[in-house]
């Protein structure tokens, strides 16, 4: 490529990414990911060859004095020069820092296909570092969000020289279970991020149509390669983060079922933060990263890369923030960090049933025939108000902002006479019918405050054609008018619904732009021309069709 064309392309790319980069920097500073220190004085810039001949631009920051040193690596689509701000901290602690532009980004060669070559590229980069004179052969890899994803993928390639990883807010399955949730494309998160990476609308439309698990997803998704991870990984997640469930799943799998070299060596911290500044009238003191992210990360490197017995592996492997009543200026002392030997804590799965009078109760409904029908018009979707979003509109906003709508059903318990402590995975069992071949159902778990504030805790959808799964053989359309039981994966949380509050469950069929809107026409996912239709959707809540949210209720003390 001619040099002037290359620089022009970089300039356009930089403009496209400026807004997203600012958001991501805000995220990183919000959850304590950058050290406040002087910039590194010097760095070397090299082009590292990959196995196919593509060269990746790489910054190398070395401590003063003679090496070799242990090395920490980060691989990013957000510009390798972002490491300038933290390099001095690593160097002063005795670590060489390597920061690399991933393939097709900034100064690196190759085609930009986000995360589709990072297993191989991660392996090649680690082993290249191991061969350099500045490296003592012990290498750690770290990153937050996208660089966390590349860290996981590198670990899944099992490079012999990779010693440990520190991964903050990254999914267990980017393509299969995170880009699509319940088979529904995460429009504002995935679509918006891809646009910020310079991906064309045609390519984004092609991604949007790939909700069915295919061989390319299997070849490139961490979920299908995590059994190869042989190293200790410190996973950090946030309850209001876009990848909350992935942080949990990655820890639980590697700790209990992973490669023998990985089992029993994992750590997890789940805080009360999101992928950006939390919106709404709630705050969680101490809900950021444990001990400040940089210091905890350096303790991790000291133990695994320098063999310093600093006690980090003697501490409980799991720490998580128990959220509770948290209005700004009136935060309950039940908001706290809990330390544990495993996740989840002991609990009893407790069904809270939707009732004909729009209440929510642990008692089975006794009506023989009860239901509620609404019209779901794709041209008038329910607007997104908070949730696990990327960069903006993040967290436990007040769902009263949605207002009263015929397609938005609110169920709630009586005022709680005692605390209900929930910690673990949540499912929604929903009996439904529709007159469409395909439609969506969306469920929210809400903490309702005494003054009526409806704090969003979790919100998740299911596209009915994927009710049996996202493998090709699982996909089937609905039979109009036929009642079916859906199980909606509501992910996990740790939430104390305090005495005086109510537990709320909201049911609808859209949440836009958090999730793509179903046109209700049953057309192929890549058919953008088929006209949308209004669906008539029915929710059942009677003795024969008892819709319920299944909460993991903890009865014993967690302290």
Let me know: does 254 contact 262? Beta carbons within 8 Å.
yes
**Within its chain, how far is the Cα of 66 from the centroid?**
41
Query: How much is the pLDDT for 320?
Result: 97
Torsion sign, CA atoms 168, 172, 174, 180? negative
Let me know: does 444 contact 506? Beta carbons within 8 Å.
yes
Write the DSSP string, 326-357: EETTEE-TT-EEEEESSSSPS-EEEEEEE-TT
Q: Specify the pairing of strand 184-185 against strand 233-240.
A: unpaired
Q: Report the half-sphere exposure of 25 (CA within 13 A, side-chain side).
A: 13
Helix (H) and strand (E) counts for the chain? 9, 25
Q: How far is CA 299 from CA 18, 471, 498, in A?
A: 33, 42, 36
Let me know: does 276 contact 23? Beta carbons within 8 Å.
yes
Ramachandran assignment for 354, one of left (phi > 0), alpha (psi -120 to 50 degrees), beta (any other): beta
If we measure between CA atoms, which residue out of 352, 336, 442, 354 comes closest to residue 399? 442
Residues in the chain: 559
**Within its chain, how far is the Cα of 92 from the centroid?**
32
d(C-alpha 422, C-alpha 249), whole Å: 18
Q: Specify the pairing of strand 502-508 against strand 360-361.
A: unpaired
d(C-alpha 308, C-alpha 94), whole Å: 13
Let me know: does 115 contact 89? Beta carbons within 8 Å.
no
**Largest Cα–Cα separation, the chain:** 80
Strands (E), 464-547: 484-497, 502-508, 535-540
In the chain (559 residues long), the average pLDDT of successive 10-residue segments reads 38 38 45 47 89 98 96 98 96 98 98 95 98 98 97 98 97 87 94 91 90 91 97 98 96 98 98 95 86 86 98 98 98 97 97 98 97 98 97 95 98 98 98 98 98 98 97 97 98 98 98 97 93 98 98 88
- The DSSP bridge partners found for residue 429 are 487, 548
Digit-coded pLDDT (tens) for 112-154: 999 999 999 999 999 999 999 999 999 999 999 999 999 999 9
Written as six digits, the tokens of 360 are: 């929510």
Let me know: does 407 contact 375? Beta carbons within 8 Å.
yes
- Kindly report the pTM of this predicted structure: 0.93
Torsion sign, CA atoms 337, 341, 344, 347? negative
Digit-coded pLDDT (tens) for 89-115: 999 999 999 999 999 999 999 999 999
In terms of C-beta distances under 8 Å and separation of at least 24 residues, what long-range contacts does 27-31 make, across chains too? 27/144, 27/145, 27/275, 27/276, 27/277, 27/391, 28/144, 30/273, 30/276, 30/277, 30/288, 31/144, 31/168, 31/238, 31/271, 31/273, 31/288, 31/289, 31/293
**What is the set of domains in the chain, with CATH numbers?**
1-140 (3.40.50.1820), 348-554 (2.60.120.260)
d(C-alpha 462, C-alpha 508), whole Å: 11
Query: How much is the pLDDT for 34?
Result: 45
Ramachandran assignment for 442, one of left (phi > 0), alpha (psi -120 to 50 degrees), beta (any other): beta
Quick one: DSSP state of residue 501?
-
Orientation angle between helical segments 293-306 and 84-92, nearest 10 degrees: 50
If we measure between CA atoms, which residue out of 283, 297, 14, 13 comes closest to residue 144? 297
43-72: buried (b, 16+ CB within 10 Å) or exposed (e) per residue?
beeeebebeeebebbbbbbbbeeeeebbbb
Query: How much is the pLDDT for 252?
Result: 98
Query: How much is the pLDDT for 7?
Result: 37
Let me know: does 432 contact 376? Beta carbons within 8 Å.
no
d(C-alpha 559, C-alpha 549), whole Å: 26
């Amino acid at each position: 490529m001619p040099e002037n064309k290359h620089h022009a392309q970089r300039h356009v790319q930089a403009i496209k990414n400026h807004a997203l980069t600012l958001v991501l920097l805000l995220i990183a500073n919000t959850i304590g990911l950058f050290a406040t220190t002087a910039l590194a004085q010097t760095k070397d810039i090299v082009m590292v060859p990959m196995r196919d001949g593509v060269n990746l631009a790489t910054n190398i920051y070395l401590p003063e004095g003679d090496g070799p040193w242990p090395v920490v690596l980060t691989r990013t689509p957000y510009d390798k020069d972002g490491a300038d701000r933290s390099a001095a901290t690593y160097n002063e602690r005795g670590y060489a820092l390597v920061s690399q532009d991933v393939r097709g980004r900034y100064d690196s060669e190759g085609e930009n296909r986000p995360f589709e070559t990072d297993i191989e590229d991660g392996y090649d980069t680690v082993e290249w570092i191991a061969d350099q004179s500045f490296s003592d052969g012990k290498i750690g890899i770290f990153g937050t969000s996208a660089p966390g994803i590349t860290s996981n993928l590198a670990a899944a390639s099992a490079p012999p020289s990779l010693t440990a990883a520190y991964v903050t807010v990254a999914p267990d399955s980017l393509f299969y279970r995170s880009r699509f949730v319940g088979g529904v494309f995460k429009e504002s998160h995935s679509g918006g991020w891809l646009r910020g990476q310079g991906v064309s609308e045609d390519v984004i439309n092609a991604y949007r149509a790939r909700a069915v698990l295919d061989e390319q997803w299997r070849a490139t998704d961490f979920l299908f390669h995590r059994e190869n991870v042989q190293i200790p990984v410190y996973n950090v997640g946030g309850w209001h983060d876009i990848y909350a469930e992935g942080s949990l799943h990655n820890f639980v799998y590697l700790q209990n079922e992973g490669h023998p070299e990985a089992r029993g060596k994992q750590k997890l911290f789940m805080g009360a933060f999101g992928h950006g500044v939390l919106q709404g009238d709630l705050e969680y003191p101490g809900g950021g990263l444990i001990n400040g992210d940089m210091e905890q990360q350096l303790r991790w490197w000291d133990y695994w890369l320098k063999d310093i017995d600093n006690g980090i592996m003697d501490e409980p492997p799991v720490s998580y923030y128990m959220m509770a009543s948290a209005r700004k200026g009136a935060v309950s002392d039940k908001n706290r960090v809990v330390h544990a030997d495993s996740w989840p804590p002991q609990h009893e799965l407790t069904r809270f049933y939707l009732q004909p009078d729009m209440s929510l109760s642990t008692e089975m409904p006794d009506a023989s025939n009860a239901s509620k029908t609404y019209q779901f018009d794709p041209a008038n979707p329910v607007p997104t108000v908070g949730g696990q979003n990327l960069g903006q509109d993040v967290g436990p906003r007040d769902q009263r902002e949605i207002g009263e709508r015929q397609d938005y059903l609110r169920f709630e318990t009586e005022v709680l006479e005692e605390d209900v402590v929930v910690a673990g995975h949540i499912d929604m069992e929903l009996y439904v019918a529709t007159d469409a071949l395909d439609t969506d159902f969306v469920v929210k778990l809400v903490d309702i405050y005494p003054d009526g504030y409806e704090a969003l805790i979790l919100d998740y959808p299911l596209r009915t054609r994927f009710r049996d799964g996202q493998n090709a053989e699982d996909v089937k359309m609905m039979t109009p008018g036929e009642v079916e039981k859906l199980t909606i994966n509501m992910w996990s949380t740790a939430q104390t619904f305090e005495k005086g509050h109510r537990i709320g469950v909201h049911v609808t069929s859209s949440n836009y732009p958090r999730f793509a809107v179903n046109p209700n026409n049953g057309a192929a996912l890549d058919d953008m021309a088929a006209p949308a239709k209004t669906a008539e959707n029915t929710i059942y809540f009677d003795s024969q069709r008892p819709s319920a949210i299944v909460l993991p209720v903890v009865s014993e003390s967690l302290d």
